[in-house]
Chain A
Amino acid sequence: MTGRRLDASRSPGHGIDRSRPLILTLGEDTVRGFAGDTVASAAIAGGSIVCGPSLYRARPRGILTAGIEEPNALLHLEPTAPGTPAESMLPATTLEATDGMRARWLQGMGVLDPLGDEEVYEHHHVHTDVLVIGAGPAGLAAAREAARSGARTMLLDEQSMLGGSLLSGRHERIEDRPALDWVAEVAAEFDAAEETRVLRRTTAIGAYDANFVVAVERCERDAEPRPGVPRQRIWHLRAREVVLATGAHERPLVFADNDRPGIMLAGAVRSYLNRWAVAPGERVVVATTNDAPYALVEDLVEAGIEVAAVVDARPAPSERAAAVLAASGVQARHGAAVVGTDADGEGVLSGVVVADLDADGAPSAETTGIAADLLAISGGHSPVLHLHTQRQGPVAWSDRAGGFVPTGAVAHQQVVGAAAGLPSLADALETGARAGQAAAAATGWETALQLPTAPAEPTGAVRPLWLLPDPRLPEGEPLDPERWRNHLVDLQRDQSVADILRATGAGMRSVEHIKRYTSISTASDQGKTSAVAAVGAIATLLAQQEGSTADLSAVGVPRHRPPYSPVAFAALAGRRRRELFDPVRVTNIHPWHVDQGAVFEDVGQWKRPRFYPQALPGGGVEDMDAAVARECLAVRGGVGMQDVSTLGKIEIRGADAPEFLNRVYTNGFAKLAVGKGRYGLMCTADGMLFDDGVTLRIAPDRYLMTTTTGGAAKVLDWLEEWLQTEWPELDVVLTSVTEHWNTIAVAGPRSREVIAQVAPELDVSQEGFGFMEFRATTLANGIPARICRISFSGELSFEVNVENFHGQAAWELIRTAGEAAGITPYGTETMHVLRAEKGLVIIGQDTDGTVTPQDAGMEWAVSTFKDFIGKRSFSRPDTSRSDRKQFVGLQPLDGRTRVEEGTHVIAPDTPMTPEAGPVPHLGHITSSYHSATLGHPIALGLVSGGFDRIGEQVRAVLEDGSLLEMEIVPSVFYDPDGSRRDG
């Protein structure tokens, strides 16, 4: 067991509140921590650095990092409250510990909780002048300058506290005061400024066009969910200027057995030591390629923790190294590297093996062992440039920085501090402040630059180490993959240098291929610690093969793709669940339908009553067939009423409205008399049926068009597009009025007597009110109405249009007036049956975007006199074929089998051996019902050459494979003479 909490005399513990203890359960263990702990810091304080073993090879693993880049320490978090789901794959290094929390280690793979997530996830949309991402020294300096200018400024940071890297430090000073005092002052000043906002626990996950940034906020709240308090917020930020102060991730070193528990990034050791007052080990070896870990050496010594040795790859001590070593008396090996490790029985680090490096970086055969329970490693730093490269910002390898750094700017975006490859505090402050000032100025807000100062510190060179063979192995082929199997590159994916060697050996050169061959950098950490190590190894290997020097830029890094860190699906779904997944549209009469127990159907976004099941005398309710049969018979034998308010309605006004309609409808509308309506067909430019409906002429320059329910928006789009882009000279104005009117169809032979009561001022006689005419009138209850004689059932029928507000009153009026006649509400299913009996097409059900008006048997509605959209297409070879699929009726010869819609029909002599090859078919059934009126099933369909096949027999291939003889008949089954239309 290693790891313990240090008392306040040994560590500042910036991040914990020792007055607020907490207890959590980690697997079988009870772990004590403090508010401010992550699960990882609490676990290490509790004595264990070991987490779940590795995914494929089950190698023991430990906590490697102190942040989002963690590859090993992944948790399954048990529900935090009853009724909430568990969550998997959360890094222990970022998960804030809470009292009572229960979690367990995972082995690189999560477990999904079947329980749905009922918590609230908000989405916010915000505009800002300046957006600063990262609240370390550079970001704070930038935010302060921008805020001082008066620009609207937002500052985001993924941590619960501001300060970034300063939280991991001990004696850093800014503007002659302790760095964290400076942080607090800047935060206070920023908060006090107008139009500024700080978001803590907020990670910018994606950067998109024109400075659109998406961020996730983990809301601070009690463990218990409370109504209205979201669990997380997704921020959609549109910034005029962005400053990226996202810092850098330290990289591990790749050597034999570099993945044992007890091996930790040096910067992470420092974070645990200073931020959380946790010592992850008692005897530490520090292995580095750069200057950064010398600050850790100082802090360890000050905290009274033994530093057994520093192993520095650089042949001579840098200025900084020399100073620290001299002051601390710590022993160091220069020009040396850790080339292997030893472990105890549990696989936990017990010692390191050190070898000297020659000028080419090859280790000597002679090695030294050093006992240690903690190896702090630093392979260099990778600037966090995800938000830069997501915007196609260029990067290249920098020997000076020892990492990939930006080599150009994205428009209206700046990269500062460690993210720009500038690790020193002074550089971070300066680049940050300058960027903040410049960003504000670019948005029109000026301020005099006030550079925060920090003591200058030397930064020595970096000597990267990419391929460190294990000198303890017997002689052999140096690049034999077997010698490299325990040189782990991607710890989460359990991929080693051996895997890279196999990929390059297979002929792969591109880092993208090697990534895919090995899966390196595709795990939940997305290669934050492994991608550059892989590139370094690949570049070195290719250079060895080709006798050149390693060129990391030429190999390239795998492109960073959003999101920067994982986000729960539910958070991104936000409120778009159930009724908010897509808007629900209902008519004003909807509550009545609900009261009556209607069964609804989704048509577009609308809820439409499909049928109204009635209670059966013996208990229970009607099924759909029974209800529909009853509703159909009521309409045919008496009178029915239907809410048809969902039909699209577009008002078309202007001197050129007649000409406009002539161009968009296949039939003529210019000569339509005022006070009359006409059924019209619309085609796409390639001649296929697109929509239909009745259009009324209200005045010489004013029409009211109706469209299908689902097609309303599309039709308006279509009309506007032609009007604006093709015929701007036409004097026409289009207005969607779908929701201005409620429309009630009253259909059936007794509809006239009902309408006579409802509209007492109206002459409803056949002579006084002809088919396809409409009248303005006042209903018996004083409501103004427009009543049309339109029929979609073949029966005498009226449509009553009232202003939306009066919908329910009109409905009630008609229902009451119809009581004596037994008026029956009916739904869409009955409407479908009634129109099918009359052979009327439903666009979208009987047509599918490949059907012309001629195919649908509506040549009568296609003008031969005028041009209209789509007309030219009818003369193309394919549209003038005689064997096109045509709209016909079909009837089962057995007089009782109702076939499923979609059933295909074949010619009687067609061999049926699908195994031998496709069975040629003639077409399919588009509509199929039992007709209660006719007492037998009816069907409509599209059949090749169908018009010429009337009277012929075909075979329907039923779902169970059996065949049903059907006869092709005219599409009009009922009242072919149309005698019922006028009552």
Chain B
Amino acid sequence: MLLIDCPHCGPRDEVEFHYGGEARVAYPADPHAVDDRAWAEFLFFRANPAGEFTERWQHSAGCRKWFHALRDTRSYEVLATAALGRPLPGERGADAAGTSTDAAGTTTDGAGA
């Protein structure tokens, strides 16, 4: 049970949140100008690193705001959170103060066996 610090509400149990995968995936400025491969990248391909990861969460049982989190996918430790459009402390290789351009891409869930 992760403890996630909602930038708007404070630390809350994981069950209050909805996961949104990789952050800062840009919706193509003109989807019709990109080729099928590039469109497929937008639809289906997401970073999946073993290590620090900038990702999106929504405080779905709280303020319902989406926000960014920096989390280690190996230790599960939530290293930082920030409201959209705010710098995410500790985030590497990103324009930390950059505006959010996240797409609501396809999410996957593997129900069943």
Report chain B residues within 8 Å CB of A872. Answer: 28, 31-32, 34, 39
Not counting A686-B106, A725-B20, a sample of 11 additional A-B residue pairs whose C-beta atoms are within 8 angstroms of each other reads A209-B1, A209-B76, A210-B3, A212-B3, A238-B1, A238-B13, A718-B104, A721-B58, A725-B103, A726-B104, A876-B36
| Beta-carbon contact of A717 and B3 below 8 Å | no
- Does A78 have its Cβ within 8 Å of any Cβ on chain B? no
- Does A283 have its Cβ within 8 Å of any Cβ on chain B? no
Report chain B residues within 8 Å CB of A210. Answer: 1-3, 78
A-B contact pairs, 24 of them (CB 8 A): A208-B1, A209-B76, A209-B77, A210-B3, A212-B13, A238-B13, A392-B75, A685-B104, A685-B106, A686-B43, A686-B106, A717-B58, A717-B60, A720-B64, A721-B66, A722-B104, A724-B66, A725-B84, A725-B103, A726-B102, A728-B84, A869-B104, A872-B31, A872-B32
Cα–Cα distance between A725 and B55 once the two chains are bound (Å): 12
- The interface bits of chain B over 14-45 (1 if a CB of A lies within 8 angstroms of the residue's CB, else 0) are 00001010000001100110101001001110
Cα–Cα distance between A873 and B38 once the two chains are bound (Å): 11
| Beta-carbon contact of B18 and A209 below 8 Å | no
Chain B nearest CB: distance from A312 CB in Å?
44
| Beta-carbon contact of B105 and A728 below 8 Å | no
Residue of B nearest to A871 (CB): B31
- Does B86 have its Cβ within 8 Å of any Cβ on chain A? no
Report chain B residues within 8 Å CB of A114. Answer: none
- Does A877 have its Cβ within 8 Å of any Cβ on chain B? yes
- The interface bits of chain A over 873-895 (1 if a CB of B lies within 8 angstroms of the residue's CB, else 0) are 10111000000000000000000
Binding site for A on B (CB under 8 A): 1-3, 13, 18, 20, 27-28, 31-32, 34, 36, 39, 42-44, 56, 58, 60, 64-66, 75-78, 84-85, 100-106
Cα–Cα distance between A209 and B84 once the two chains are bound (Å): 25
Residue of A nearest to B102 (CB): A725
Report chain B residues within 8 Å CB of A236. Answer: 1
Binding site for B on A (CB under 8 A): 208-210, 212, 236, 238, 392, 684-686, 717-718, 720-722, 724-726, 728, 867, 869, 871-873, 875-877
Report chain B residues within 8 Å CB of A877. Answer: 36
Report chain A residues within 8 Å CB of B1. Answer: 208-210, 212, 236, 238
Cα–Cα distance between A686 and B3 once the two chains are bound (Å): 33
Chain B nearest CB: distance from A717 CB in Å?
7
| Beta-carbon contact of A726 and B13 below 8 Å | no
- Specify which of B1, B78, B101, B106 lies most central, judged by the most chain A CB atoms within 10 Å of its CB: B1
Report chain A residues within 8 Å CB of B84. Answer: 724-725, 728
Chain A nearest CB: distance from B59 CB in Å?
11
| Beta-carbon contact of B36 and A209 below 8 Å | no
Report chain B residues within 8 Å CB of A392. Answer: 75
Report chain A residues within 8 Å CB of B18. Answer: 717
Cα–Cα distance between A216 and B1 once the two chains are bound (Å): 17
Report chain B residues within 8 Å CB of A725. Answer: 20, 56, 66, 84, 100, 102-104
Chain A nearest CB: distance from B36 CB in Å?
5
Cα–Cα distance between A879 and B66 once the two chains are bound (Å): 32
Residue of B nearest to A391 (CB): B75
Cα–Cα distance between A803 and B85 once the two chains are bound (Å): 38
Report chain A residues within 8 Å CB of B78. Answer: 210
Report chain B residues within 8 Å CB of A212. Answer: 1, 3, 13
Contact with B65, one of A208, A684, A686, A724 (Cβ below 8 angstroms): A724
Cα–Cα distance between A721 and B75 once the two chains are bound (Å): 27
| Beta-carbon contact of A238 and B3 below 8 Å | yes
| Beta-carbon contact of A685 and B103 below 8 Å | yes
Report chain A residues within 8 Å CB of B106. Answer: 684-686
Cα–Cα distance between A508 and B60 once the two chains are bound (Å): 48
Report chain A residues within 8 Å CB of B28. Answer: 872
Report chain A residues within 8 Å CB of B76. Answer: 209
Chain B nearest CB: distance from A666 CB in Å?
14
| Beta-carbon contact of B31 and A867 below 8 Å | yes
Report chain A residues within 8 Å CB of B43. Answer: 685-686, 873
Report chain B residues within 8 Å CB of A686. Answer: 43-44, 106
Report chain A residues within 8 Å CB of B65. Answer: 724
- Specify which of B20, B31, B84, B85 lies most central, judged by the most chain A CB atoms within 10 Å of its CB: B31
| Beta-carbon contact of B100 and A728 below 8 Å | yes
Chain B nearest CB: distance from A34 CB in Å?
41
Cα–Cα distance between A871 and B33 once the two chains are bound (Å): 12
Cα–Cα distance between A455 and B56 once the two chains are bound (Å): 57
Chain A nearest CB: distance from B94 CB in Å?
15
Cα–Cα distance between A867 and B33 once the two chains are bound (Å): 12
Chain A nearest CB: distance from B33 CB in Å?
9
| Beta-carbon contact of A726 and B27 below 8 Å | yes
| Beta-carbon contact of A876 and B66 below 8 Å | no
Residue of B nearest to A206 (CB): B1
Report chain B residues within 8 Å CB of A685. Answer: 42-43, 103-106
Report chain A residues within 8 Å CB of B36. Answer: 876-877
Residue of B nearest to A687 (CB): B43
Cα–Cα distance between A725 and B32 once the two chains are bound (Å): 21
Cα–Cα distance between A392 and B74 once the two chains are bound (Å): 11
Chain B nearest CB: distance from A152 CB in Å?
16
Report chain A residues within 8 Å CB of B100. Answer: 725, 728
Chain A nearest CB: distance from B42 CB in Å?
8
Give the 9 A-B CB pairs with smallest separation, nearest first: A725-B102, A210-B3, A872-B31, A721-B104, A212-B1, A724-B66, A722-B104, A209-B2, A725-B66
Chain B nearest CB: distance from A121 CB in Å?
19
Cα–Cα distance between A454 and B100 once the two chains are bound (Å): 61
| Beta-carbon contact of A720 and B3 below 8 Å | no
Chain A nearest CB: distance from B57 CB in Å?
11
Report chain B residues within 8 Å CB of A869. Answer: 104
Residue of A nearest to B26 (CB): A726
Residue of A nearest to B85 (CB): A728
Chain A nearest CB: distance from B98 CB in Å?
13
Chain A nearest CB: distance from B111 CB in Å?
13
Residue of B nearest to A878 (CB): B36
Chain A nearest CB: distance from B37 CB in Å?
10
Cα–Cα distance between A871 and B20 once the two chains are bound (Å): 22
With A721-B66, A867-B32, A873-B39 in contact, do A726 and B3 touch (Cβ < 8 Å)? no
Chain A nearest CB: distance from B4 CB in Å?
9
Report chain A residues within 8 Å CB of B101. Answer: 726
Residue of A nearest to B67 (CB): A724
Cα–Cα distance between A876 and B101 once the two chains are bound (Å): 24
Report chain A residues within 8 Å CB of B2. Answer: 209-210
Cα–Cα distance between A236 and B2 once the two chains are bound (Å): 13
With A208-B1, A717-B60, A873-B39 in contact, do A726 and B32 touch (Cβ < 8 Å)? no
Cα–Cα distance between A867 and B75 once the two chains are bound (Å): 41
With A209-B77, A721-B58 in contact, do A726 and B64 touch (Cβ < 8 Å)? no
Cα–Cα distance between A867 and B3 once the two chains are bound (Å): 39
- Specify which of A210, A238, A718, A871 lies most central, judged by the most chain B CB atoms within 10 Å of its CB: A210
Residue of B nearest to A718 (CB): B104
Report chain A residues within 8 Å CB of B31. Answer: 867, 871-872
Chain B nearest CB: distance from A571 CB in Å?
18
Report chain B residues within 8 Å CB of A867. Answer: 31-32
Chain B nearest CB: distance from A973 CB in Å?
35
- Specify which of A208, A236, A718 lies most central, judged by the most chain B CB atoms within 10 Å of its CB: A208
Report chain A residues within 8 Å CB of B85. Answer: 728
Report chain B residues within 8 Å CB of A720. Answer: 58, 64, 66
Residue of B nearest to A238 (CB): B3
| Beta-carbon contact of A721 and B3 below 8 Å | no
Cα–Cα distance between A718 and B32 once the two chains are bound (Å): 22
- Specify which of B2, B32, B43, B56 lies most central, judged by the most chain A CB atoms within 10 Å of its CB: B43
Report chain B residues within 8 Å CB of A871. Answer: 31-32
Report chain A residues within 8 Å CB of B103. Answer: 685, 725-726
Chain A nearest CB: distance from B92 CB in Å?
21
Residue of B nearest to A686 (CB): B43
Residue of A nearest to B66 (CB): A724
Chain B nearest CB: distance from A408 CB in Å?
13
Cα–Cα distance between A876 and B78 once the two chains are bound (Å): 38
Chain A nearest CB: distance from B52 CB in Å?
16
Chain A nearest CB: distance from B104 CB in Å?
4
Chain A nearest CB: distance from B18 CB in Å?
7
